[in-house]
Amino acid sequence: MKKFIRTYLPFASNELKRNMAYKGAFYLFTLCSLFGSFIQYYLWMAIYGSAQGAKLGSLTREEMVVYVFMSYVTSSLTMISVSRELGKDVVKGSVVMNLIKPIDYRLSLIAKGLGTMVYHFMMPGIFVWAGLEFYKWYALGLPVVNIGNLLLYVVSVIFSFFIYVLFDFCFGMIAFFTTYIFGMQMAKDALLSFLTGQLIPLSFFPEIVERLFEFLPFSSMVYTPVMIYLGKYGISELWFVLGRQLVWVVLLYLLGSLLWKQVTRRMIVLGG
């Protein structure tokens, strides 16, 4: 175990350093995506302002504020693309440089994702979160989040991270067949912003659709942790959703191993 950590930790810490090396790009990216969150915020406020009841899709106006910003924080922590790097490695053939080392390629990608996650947590995750809690307390006069929900949220986010990267790894396998993945990635991102509840809370959908979406692994990526943060689940429900996350981690891990085995067997690397 110690050796395992010693082997893969440098991938995480180097990814962290790498992120910092290109901080200009990251500030811009953060600014742009935060901007999106604010648009969403004003849009929702307008919707709530013209709505009849106090609750929409089982969320109050205040809860919606939390939802918008926490789904931003959560997705920046959990939705860390490994397929982009995988795709690039496959298309350029540099995947061979990883295969000549005594490391598991997928684990190295996950470790790198973890490095990015830590970076996103510091920049800007924790600031957005602190700002949100301050706003809640100062402007909305609500109590800050209770520590139990926060801890459960952290556990759930860790599961979410693994679900996303393991799923994305499987998705990245497409690159081996098409040798081009960028367009697919755009499509995936658009689809996922719906299915994960990033754009609209899943509780807004008709019940049958909501059921279906919750059954898929994507709801576990963003929707589940944010709802835990909001304290929307009872005890038994809580165990159920966390258990469901764990099941997806295991299933996607196994699926990824299977695909990788198939793909490397028929891999072609040409030129140099």
- Closer of 109 and 230 to other proteins (Cβ): 109
Span of 11-19, 134-142, 210-218, 219-227 interacting with other proteins by CB under 8 A: 11-19
Does 23 sit near other proteins (CB under 8 A)? Answer: no
Q: Can residue 11 be called a binding residue for other proteins (CB under 8 A)?
A: yes
Q: How many CA atoms lie within 13 A of 212 on its CB side?
A: 7
From first CA to last CA, the distance across the chain in angstroms is: 36
Q: Is 211 in the site for other proteins (CB under 8 A)?
A: no
The secondary structure of 152-213 as a DSSP string is HHHHHHHHHHHHHHHHHHHHHTHHHHHS--HHHHHHHHHHHHHHTSSSS-GGGS-HHHHHHH
- Whether the Cβ atoms of residue 98 and residue 108 lie closer than 8 Å to each other: yes
- Whether 144 contacts 137, CB under 8 Å: yes
22 binds other proteins (CB under 8 A): yes
In the bound complex, what is the minimum distance in angstroms from residue 85's beta carbon to other proteins?
A: 12
Q: Classify residue 63 as left (phi > 0), alpha (psi -120 to 50) or beta.
A: alpha
By CB under 8 A, what part of segment 94-123 binds other proteins? 94, 96-97, 99-104
Q: How far is the CB of 105 from other proteins (least distance, A)?
A: 10
Q: How many CA atoms lie within 13 A of 40 on its CB side?
A: 21
Per CB under 8 A, 261 contacts other proteins: no
Place of tokens 């648009």: 39
Is residue 56 helix, strand or coil?
Answer: strand
The nearer residue to other proteins, 81 or 219, going by C-beta atoms, is 81
Which residue's CB is nearer to other proteins, number 96 or number 151? 96
∠ CA(108), CA(90), CA(121), 5° rounding? 40
Kindly state whether residue 32 participates in binding other proteins, applying the rule CB under 8 A.
no
Question: Smallest gap, in angstroms, from Cβ of residue 119 to other proteins?
Answer: 14
Q: How many residues bind other proteins (CB under 8 A)?
A: 28
With binding defined as CB under 8 A, does residue 147 bind other proteins?
no
Residue 264, interface with other proteins (CB under 8 A)?
Answer: yes
Contact footprint for other proteins (CB under 8 A): 3, 6-7, 9-11, 14, 17-18, 21-22, 93-94, 96-97, 99-104, 264-265, 267-269, 271-272
